[in-house]
Amino acid sequence: MATALFIIDVQVDFCEGGALACEGGALVAQKITQYLAEHRGSYDYVVASRDWHTPDSENGGHFPPQGIEPDYVNHWPLHCIANTHGAEYHANLDSSLIDIHIKKGQGAHGYSIFEGTTESGESIQSVISRLEIDQVDVVGIATDYCVRASSLDAIMEGLKVRVITSLTAGVSPVSTEAAIDELVDAGVQVVAKA
């Protein structure tokens, strides 16, 4: 069986200066690159997701209807629009270290990596099965949204899951703490450092 690192949504729009920035996002991107430089041998595969929202679409309600302000709960400001700078990996993340690229949120909310596909259209579930991945470490942005959703879905898929919190950035301390409690309750191992 194989072990993978899931890097969730380390994108320009989720880091400082982006459309939906998390404080500490750029530093997390840098720290993930440093971590991989030291620990690449610990993983058989490195899999990274990106929000890749469809232009000129509400993306299944992820973006509010025109003229309505986002509520930051059910819908969000425009971010990570496919083929824009904001959707690219942050420059601090060395994308040459990534083996498999997953795009999610194409016409949908797309919080979890399990809602995405590879460039060829293969589902992440198929990738996991084909590569016999049974353990994943999860890092990235945001701890309280897409890291949370991806980790919970990984548990539901029967994987052994660990979240490394020093390699994540959250939207807010309160929702991040609640997400970590939920992850622990679901059987995710949450560690500060690997």
What's 166's DSSP letter? E
Residues 103, 104, 137, 153: which is the catalytic one?
A: 104
Question: Distance (Å, rounded) from C-alpha 183 to C-alpha 152?
Answer: 7
The active-site residue out of 9, 137, 144, 153 is: 9
Side chain identity, residue 151: S
Q: Which residues contact 40 (CB under 8 A, 6 or more apart)?
A: 46, 97
| 149 vs 164: CA distance, rounded Å | 15
Active-site residue identified among 80, 103, 146, 153: 146
146 catalytically annotated? yes
DSSP state of 52: -
List active site positions: 9, 104, 146
